Structure 1
Amino acid sequence: MRTGVLDIGSNAANLRVVDAGTGAAPVPVFRQKAPTGLADAIGADGTVSASGIRRLVGAVEATVAAARAQRVDELIPYVTSAVRDATNRDEILGVLRARTGLEVGFLSGEEEARLTYFAVHRWYGWSTGPLSLLDIGGGSMEIARGRDEDPTLAVSLPLGAGRLTRSHLPEHPARRRHVKRLRAHVRAVLAPMRRTASPGTVVATSKTFKQLSRFAGRPGTTPGTRLLHRHDLHAWIPRLAAMTPDERAKLPGVRAARARHLLAGAVVAETAMKTFRVDVVEVCPWALREGILLRRLEPLPLPDTLRTMRLDGPPAAGVSDLDDYRRRSRTYR
């Protein structure tokens, strides 16, 4: 069956299409992004502006059209924290329903953490042992820990790179006092978790960590991964603070749409690693979208807040080689 996951986030509507079946590894066949610009359309009261909603609708319409062109049988559309936490969330979901015909779901922060951890656990396999997950999005940061496929700890904190840029970094280049204030804020939010252990392998996901690892990291031990050392990240923070967004966008792997939020993401990442006494994280290419796809292929159901949408088109055959999916994931990444 050809399945699509549509991640409607603060920067883009991100469509991933795979061929998959029960017991078979999902094979990536198509991907498309359409910018939403929500990160810059959220007011101080948490309301997404009318222009932001129009851009969002246009992005979703474009990706849904692409899904139909790819003859997707089943589409799973969802919004992340940018819309989930918006004060006019119901209005946004109503407009999307009216304009696109989609019943767009959303996950709680804890559900996002659990599904992302599930994907990471599948990437590394049972032999890895205990895992800790750090994920920095646009509006929130997810942390999960455990040994099995279902984590024993899964939390979501309001430490997203876009959210903190709006609240703590009004100028770019950033003033030293603003960076210091941001670091203190992140430290305070993480303080209640300081005494919790960070067992085994510590893995990071999300575009924030991927971008940071491209220019501040090193090749990982597993194909498709990269390592990010805390002391390297610490050295980059004052350099990022001294740059304009245009200058940051020239760094390897950094997209212009995310360049303004890169400094906040770096401060959160470095502060979290220091809080949990982590010297290095491995950045995994699988995250929330893969977690949703993999869970869809399991006998266990998806969370009730997600809806699968049937689209026209014949089912496509899947394959059963997980290594092949990993190889193709790196090709389409």
Structure 2
Amino acid sequence: MTRVAAIDCGTNTIRLLIAEADRDQSGSSRLKALRRRNEIVRLGQGVDRTGMLDPAALERTLTVVDAYAADCAELGVAPGGAVRRFVATSATRDARNREDFVAGVRRLLGIEPEVVSGQEEARLSFSGSLLGVRGGEDAGVQKGGERVQAPRLVVDLGGGSTELVLGVDAPSAAISLDTGSVRITERFLTGDVTPDSEAAARAEVRGLLDEAEQVVDLSAPGQLVGLAGTITTVTAHALGLQAFDPQTLGGAELNPQAVLASCEAIVHSTAEQRASWGYLAPGRRDVIAAGALVWSEVVTRVVERTTAAGRPLERVTTSLYDILDGIALSLVPAQTESEGTEA
């Protein structure tokens, strides 16, 4: 197995995964996590409005990058890009001064950070999600006289962008939308959620989903899979959890109605309610209403389209495996000699 370090730097959080990784002769991927870290740094603070990374946000983020470099050294991840990969997504893509950030990462980690496209972000998210989602054989469709596995729709809902990826074992269609919990908050929901602000936010998301449908067939999925912090929060709320519980949340399946009911409650929650939810990190409290609004629009649209196609969506799955795991897997050759270590 290969010891690798993957870093995912998004609009709201920066995360580290150090793992032993490999693929067996059949191409199946395996990861044995050695350390996971997650810090909310809000790198994308104000980027939607100014087009620039805020100096304070940049400093917060590079402080965490320095700590992650120390983790790599402690756990013996070799220097160099062969086993270390740093992926920056929406906020860094949008910032005119992103070179300041790139230079800081290069200095601290000794590798070139990649400011990836929305399409690459989508591909990595789909790859990682496969580690935590069981197959959809029971959600098959008739095709050519035989029953085949329906594709899954993987949705990675971040702070600044949301990726929709359709496929079975690999993406067949994907799009990255400029919407997410931080972006919608800064555009529409900086104060209390009012009928007018909510309506404007929903109109924006619906317009983007109209564009998405030109690329991704939202009537096709037999399974809807959600990734990232907003979706785990909605799932924890729907399950009535008292704290973040990965054993319960990973692979959790809910009917769409339960998801939408929790989204509605979160969108209209009070600050006191959000502070009482042990599964909601303090750094996510001010943007979770916007995230839940985006997720509710996605789920609603998929339910509408699959129902119209005669294959109503029956379940929404939460995966704790996502783009971070996909980044780690991307560092491993397509085939390596299996050493028999379980993921």
**TM-score tier after normalising by the smaller chain length:** 0.7 to 0.9
Note if 1:192 corresponds to 2:192: no
Q: Which residue of 1 aligns with 2:53?
A: 48
Cα RMSD, aligned residues only: 2.8
Report the 3-state secondary structure (helix = DSSP H, G, I; strand = E; otherwise coil) of the residue aligned with 1:276.
helix
CA distance in 2, matches of 1:136, 1:77: 19
Note if 1:31 corresponds to 2:51: no
Q: Which residue of 2 aligns with 1:113?
A: 122
Q: Residue 183 of structure 1 aligns to which amino acid in structure 2?
A: R
CA distance in 1, matches of 2:220, 2:64: 38
Report the 3-state secondary structure (helix = DSSP H, G, I; strand = E; otherwise coil) of the residue aligned with 1:15.
strand
Q: Alignment length, in residue pairs?
A: 304
Q: Which residue of 1 aligns with 2:145?
A: none
Q: Is the 8 A contact 2:8 2:14 kept in 1?
A: yes
**How far off its partner does 1:43 sit?**
5.9
Range that drifts further, 177-186 or 192-201:
192-201
Q: Is the 8 A contact 1:183 1:267 kept in 2?
A: yes
Note if 1:214 corresponds to 2:215: no
Q: Which residue of 1 aligns with 2:163?
A: 142
Q: Which residue of 1 aligns with 2:69?
A: 64
Taking structure 1 as reference, are residues 45 and 138 closer, same or farther at Cα in structure 2, changes over 3 Å only?
A: same
Counting aligned pairs with the same residue, the percent is 24
Please report the TM-score for the alignment, with normalisation by the length of structure 1: 0.81
**How far off its partner does 1:288 sit?**
0.7
1:124-203 alignment to 2 at 5 Å?
124=133, 128=137, 129=149, 130-147=151-168, 149-171=169-191, 173-194=192-213, 196=217, 197-203=219-225
Taking structure 1 as reference, are residues 214 and 223 closer, same or farther at Cα in structure 2, changes over 3 Å only?
A: closer
CA distance in 2, matches of 1:153, 1:207: 24
CA distance in 1, matches of 2:164, 2:200: 22
**How far off its partner does 1:271 sit?**
0.8
Taking structure 1 as reference, are residues 259 and 223 closer, same or farther at Cα in structure 2, changes over 3 Å only?
A: closer
Taking structure 1 as reference, are residues 227 and 252 closer, same or farther at Cα in structure 2, changes over 3 Å only?
A: farther
CA distance in 1, matches of 2:21, 2:48: 40
Taking structure 1 as reference, are residues 287 and 218 closer, same or farther at Cα in structure 2, changes over 3 Å only?
A: farther
Q: Residue 6 of structure 2 aligns to which amino acid in structure 1?
A: V
Note if 1:254 corresponds to 2:280: yes
Note if 1:276 corresponds to 2:302: yes
Q: Residue 225 of structure 1 aligns to which amino acid in structure 2?
A: G
Q: Which residue of 2 aligns with 1:310?
A: none
Taking structure 1 as reference, are residues 106 and 245 closer, same or farther at Cα in structure 2, changes over 3 Å only?
A: farther
Please report the TM-score for the alignment, with normalisation by the length of structure 2: 0.79
Note if 1:104 corresponds to 2:113: yes
**How far off its partner does 1:60 sit?**
0.5
Deviation digits for residues 3-29 of structure 1, max 9, x if unmatched? 111112223321111123453722111
Q: Is the 8 A contact 2:17 2:325 kept in 1?
A: no
Unaligned residue ranges in structure 1 (runs of 5+):
301-316, 326-333
Q: Is the 8 A contact 1:16 1:30 kept in 2?
A: yes
CA distance in 2, matches of 1:106, 1:288: 14
Taking structure 1 as reference, are residues 279 and 87 closer, same or farther at Cα in structure 2, changes over 3 Å only?
A: farther
Q: Which residue of 2 aligns with 1:20?
A: 21
Q: Is the 8 A contact 1:20 1:318 kept in 2?
A: no
Q: Which residue of 1 aligns with 2:250?
A: 224
Taking structure 1 as reference, are residues 175 and 285 closer, same or farther at Cα in structure 2, changes over 3 Å only?
A: same
CA distance in 1, matches of 2:184, 2:176: 15
Q: Is the 8 A contact 2:227 2:322 kept in 1?
A: yes
Q: Is the 8 A contact 2:264 2:292 kept in 1?
A: no
Q: Which residue of 1 aligns with 2:307?
A: none
Note if 1:79 corresponds to 2:88: yes
Q: Residue 282 of structure 1 aligns to which amino acid in structure 2?
A: T
CA distance in 2, matches of 1:223, 1:96: 32
Q: Is the 8 A contact 1:218 1:226 kept in 2?
A: no
Taking structure 1 as reference, are residues 199 and 31 closer, same or farther at Cα in structure 2, changes over 3 Å only?
A: closer
**How far off its partner does 1:114 sit?**
1.5
